[in-house]
């Protein structure tokens, strides 16, 4: 994306285990002969994207900000305001100052415009937050959310490129399994973005992450309990109004699928069902590598630079 972006120039690629290798060697589809270098606290570039294991960006970001650089971090190091929740869900310590603006353009676009550093949302979190936000954060809140039960299935790429037996073809082919039920690190991030917290929630929340036999994509099904019944047209209008200025959110008339958003920066949302008892089913689909990671990072960069947020992503 950055290679084809009309407003930026890709200057350097840094890595740890892949130092010395050409980008095209690791990713043959890329027309890029740049060589991965070891990072030695260089600050010659204007913008830095960090995609590191949790805990490592905490060591690098302060120096970059001190040098006046624009930073977009894709780890979970700076997402949570609560140190207690960070330590509980990431099993790592951090200082209370280690917080950056949460980079979800559809919710916090105005804040993103005025800062030099943002924390890019997690992939599961993106699919769930966008699916629930109109009910919890909209200006016309005539409905009260009492509970959300969410099941999200991710492609194998969500676990990264590291070799793991449980992610091998023989283990994952024709297979689906749940993991980190109730303790996934995106849980407090979701609750924080929706205006509450994991430790003192304003509604019951259950999150079951799953991994399935697909390479990329996240498919989330949100079972939401409201305080009163609402018909499908009412909910659909609420969502369309909330996302009227969001170019990458599509409130679909028909059921969405992972294939519909494959290799796009789009989030599809479908109002699947409304029940007589106030039950509601929302289905969302994103590409975990784009809207759930790199695509959203570029979208955030565009906003921070003051250019059209769709630049390089259409």
Given the residues 32, 123, 252, 267, select the one marked as catalytic. Answer: 123
- Judge whether 119 and 193 are in contact, CB under 8 Å: no
Q: Is residue 311 part of a domain?
A: no
Q: How many domains does the chain have?
A: 2
The structure tokens listed for 239 are 């969502």
Q: What are the pLDDT digits (tens) for 55-80?
A: 999 999 999 999 999 999 999 999 99
Together in a domain, 133 and 264: yes
Domain of 105: which CATH number?
A: 3.40.50.720
* 8-state DSSP, 230: -
276: domain CATH number is 3.30.360.10
| 216 and 97 housed in the same domain | no
Active site residue 150: no
Quick one: 193 and 49 in the same domain? no
Structural domain range at position 99: 13-120+293-305
Q: How would DSSP label each residue in 66-120?
A: HTT-EEEE-SSTTT-S-HHHHHHHHS----TT---EE--HHHHHHHHHT-SEEEP
Residues 134 and 269 in one domain: yes
**What is the model's pLDDT at position 160?**
67
Is residue 83 domain-shared with residue 128, that is, in the same domain?
no
Q: Does residue 94 sit in the same domain as residue 129?
A: no
Angle value at C-alpha 79, between 74 and 83, nearest 5 degrees: 135
| 252 & 160 share domain | yes
220 lies in the same domain as 299? no
Judge contact between 174 and 166, C-beta under 8 A.
no
Residues 30 and 86 in one domain: yes
Q: Note whether 128 and 207 are same-domain residues.
A: yes
User: Is the same domain home to 40 and 63?
Assistant: yes
* pLDDT tens-place string over residues 205-222: 999 999 999 999 999 999
Domain presence at residue 187: yes
Q: Are residues 272 and 164 in the same domain?
A: yes
Flag whether 210 is in a domain: yes
Give the pLDDT mean for 47-58: 96
pLDDT in tens, 155-175: 998 876 666 778 788 788 899
The answer to whether residue 86 sits within a structural domain is yes
């Amino acid at each position: 994306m950055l290679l084809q972006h009309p407003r930026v120039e890709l200057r350097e690629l840094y890595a740890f285990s892949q130092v010395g290798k050409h980008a095209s060697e690791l990713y043959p589809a890329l027309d890029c002969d740049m060589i991965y270098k070891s990072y030695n606290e260089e600050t010659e570039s204007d913008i830095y994207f960090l995609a590191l294991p949790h805990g490592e960006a905490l060591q690098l970001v302060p120096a970059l900000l001190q040098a006046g650089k624009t930073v977009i971090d894709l780890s979970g190091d700076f997402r949570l305001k609560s140190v207690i929740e960070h330590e509980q869900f990431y099993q790592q310590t951090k200082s209370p100052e280690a917080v950056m603006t949460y980079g979800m353009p559809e919710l916090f676009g105005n804040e993103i415009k005025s800062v030099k550093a943002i924390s890019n949302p997690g992939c599961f979190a993106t699919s769930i937050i966008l699916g629930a936000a109109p009910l919890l954060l909209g200006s016309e809140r005539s409905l009260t959310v009492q509970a959300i039960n969410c099941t999200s299935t991710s492609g194998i790429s969500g676990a990264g490129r590291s070799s793991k037996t449980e992610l091998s073809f023989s283990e994952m082919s024709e297979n689906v399994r749940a993991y980190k039920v109730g303790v996934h690190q995106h849980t407090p991030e979701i609750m924080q973005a929706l205006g509450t917290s994991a430790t003192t929630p304003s509604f019951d929340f259950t999150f079951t992450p799953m991994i399935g036999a697909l390479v990329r994509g996240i498919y989330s099904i949100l079972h939401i309990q409201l305080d009163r019944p609402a018909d499908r047209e009412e909910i659909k209008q609420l969502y369309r109004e909330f996302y009227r200025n969001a170019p990458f959110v599509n409130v679909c008339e028909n059921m969405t699928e992972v294939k519909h958003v494959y290799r796009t920066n789009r989030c599809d949302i479908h109002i699947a069902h409304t029940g007589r008892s106030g039950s509601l089913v929302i289905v969302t689909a994103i590409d975990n590598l784009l809207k759930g990671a790199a695509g959203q990072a570029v979208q955030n960069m565009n906003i921070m630079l003051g250019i059209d947020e769709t630049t390089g992503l259409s």
